[in-house]
Structure 1
Amino acid sequence: MCLIILTTLTHLSTTKRIHICEPASKDQHSIYRVPKHIYETDEKAYEPKIISIGPYHHGKQCLQSMEDHKWRYLNAILSRNLDLSLENYIAASKALESQARSCYSESIDHLESHELVQMMVVDGCFIVEPFLKSKETMIEWKKTMDEGNFFFPDRKKEAEDPIYGTNWMLPLVAHDMLLLENQLPFFVLQSLLKLLNKSSTPSLLQLALDFFNHLSHGNNGIKTTDEDPRKVLHLLHLFHSSLLPPALPKSIPSATELKEAGVKFKQKKNMGSFLDVNFSKGVMEIPHFPIYDSTNSLFRNFIAFEQCFPISGAHFTSYAILMNCLINTPNDVAILKHNKIIEHMLGSDEEAALLFNQLGKAVGVYFENCFSSCLFKDVNKYCETNWHVWRANLVRRYFNNPWTMMSLVAAILILTFTFTQTFISVFSYAHPPQF
């Protein structure tokens, strides 16, 4: 069959092109070599155990024993849709060749066009077929259990397949599918599955998650991801996304909005750093932060350093994002000034607001690693509580102005006296005094 693939590749100019799935982005590296200093800490963790997928480990002698199984699975895929020939699968992969090459951070120019396309077809089918086979096996087992038959289905077909005919091989295959260096672009796998053209076939995204979930016995927290399939880079990226916690909030209301929701601002005393911000029980404590003419330049260079050298953290970037959220208008600046949190030597509050609004532009940050991520979560949760908003409105309307407060107290006293008088009158009528 290898010869057939090579022969077919030489005739692609006359082959009718079929519809294929386009990747989310082009010319973007997504499949990397593990950096040497990381690789050397535990070499076995990054090396495939029994099978190579993609170009990085292709041809290694220690992985050759599984090559025959790849061809077996290619035949299995071809038998699923007899209306298509091998030529169709080759054409689909050939159309994606240049985009696939751009996904690898390390040059794979040593592979000729026909070599890479053959690898995409053979390795891709080797991945897709187990996904489909596992789904079918689970459906068969569920049907057997629903019928009240607690004996396992006939595993004769599985016994003919060494990967499914043993208990130890499939977990190793799944392990190798999730190695950073052992990946094919997700859009290549999608294009192969799409050729099956069966409406009953689940999406590749769901097939992959079901496959890994089944092998982990559902204990790894794998969930149905809402990831757009067009944005999935490869299987490791998909698995990584499926295990992430819910997205953390990336913003909070402005100082004015927070004040209206009942949040109080307080200058934090005895702090070790002006970055030490915290929120508890409706009070946001922020250390005093003086703003000078040089602040903009200094902060921008701090942020640029953190962007270029992530190991240094994202402390100043996080602080800039926090202040950018809090300050939208000069009124927000005035609130923080009133609470002695910021002090600026600029021309106006508007200029101070503009400074923070500009700092966060074109800045990338992983919110999971920001010191402000938990703070954002707590603040938003507090603001979503109706009681806090209602209490803040009550205080703002009736207790900020002493005359308004006196009028409210007077009204309450009048209502109390009226109620008391009414009660006495009704009670006296119902229970007249006895003489």
Structure 2
Amino acid sequence: MSQGENDYAKDLQQLYTVAGKIDEGTQKAESFFSSACIYRVLEDLRKLNERAYTPRLIAIGPLHQEDKHLETPLQHVKLSYTNYLLSRLTPRMKDQLELTAGMKEELAKQQKLKVLQECLAELKTLVDDAKKCYAEEVTLNEETMLIDGCFILEFLYRYHIRTQTKCLAEMKTSIDDAKKCYAEEVTPDEVPERDPIFCNDLTLYTVQRDLVLLENQIPFFVLEKLFRLIVDQIPKRLNNNWLLPDYVGWCYNERMSPLPNSDDSSSSSAKTWYCSPRDSVLGVFRCTTAAEKEEVQSGNSDRRTAKYYHILHNLHEGCLPHDQTKQKNFSFREMPSASELVYAGVKFVPVAGNDMFKFKFSEPKGLFWWCRRARFEIPPLSIHDSTESYLRNLIALEHSCPGVSRHVSSYAGVMDTLVNTDKDIQVLEKAGVLRNHLGATQDATDLFNNLCKEIVFGDYFLDTCSKATEYSKRFWPKNMAHVRRTYFDSPWTFIAFVVGFIAFVISLVGFVRDSIKKV
């Protein structure tokens, strides 16, 4: 074979090798990303606060199953919760006196094995689809999906049961009225007294946080399948028409909620007692009203057909506004901070209602507009230890998963622009827009200042921010801001201004008096 033929053969072999690599890479990309919805957090985001994205007590799904710090006795609680959930389907045999204790135990065991077999068979058909939900190759089987899924469902169901007494007590509802709303009374055997999660508030708080981490998820359709096979079949279940998103919303409504609004009495009275753990807490998630409940029963509600990727996505979609119009041609960074806007005559007002993304700016109008203040309405937010982790994971979801709107990123952009210093936090706290439970004001300032690093803002709320910016640049607000900042920013500058003004008046009076005498 000649040299030319050898070169041609090598070139041809290289051609097919490169083409094969391209085809293989294309297939892997389509396999991983066409249906992927559970991602590892981008490294640039993770470096900013690694603890915000890492589970502390409970590993869900395959991404953190091998983490050494999670190899604790608490992992056995998942098996205990799974056993308890499966046992809820066994028939009640307390009144069957003809059966011995051994017979009752054996019958319950057989019933549990039957349910377990059915669940494993159904989940086995979902393994391949579940693996496609992860943006990398993972090891996942029906056993892992069963244990993790049953743990989540039992946790949500147990949280729902345990909060009934507290909810009824706070709303001053009598037990007799409560029994009318439930299919049966909550009996003590439905929830064990010594629960390693619910008997410790810190553990409960941490588990709730772990279940909403982007990397700590299993596909929502796995949870829905187990929900239909188990929870839907529980005899005389509390609120037996509830769907899985109802339990998720109930569990996280109070923990991730903004401030209660005492002026919004009309909206709270319109909701029935089963809508929220606290009727006074207007949560991030829309409460279920009586009318909506009837829609669910009749099958007319969109919530039956809504597609959620996982629990975090369920919470994200649950707090989106009805109006999702994008706005452009403006940058958040152009807007002044909260304290600068106050200098310009802007009054911050907490929004009445339960819409997390309802921003509104209104200018003063009328004949005496110059002595009135503009209003900047902002959704109220209560800042807790878990707030940063929750917001960061929602932002990570928006930046990882195609098709997820960047409302939370836009919200973070607005708050980051408004908050530059501790003084801005104090302004928003005084207005009732923020309630800081972190302790130091500097901690809240750092939270918002670091939240927007390495992210891309969405195209929402830009019109509102643009109106606030344009207003602050007008002649009257701009000069009033200069006067307030220069002469009224602190008691000392105000005293100096008063002393200077008095000295000026005395000098003016003396000058006028001398001028009159000369005349």
TM-score range (shorter-chain normalised) is 0.3 to 0.5
**Structure with bigger gyration radius:** 1
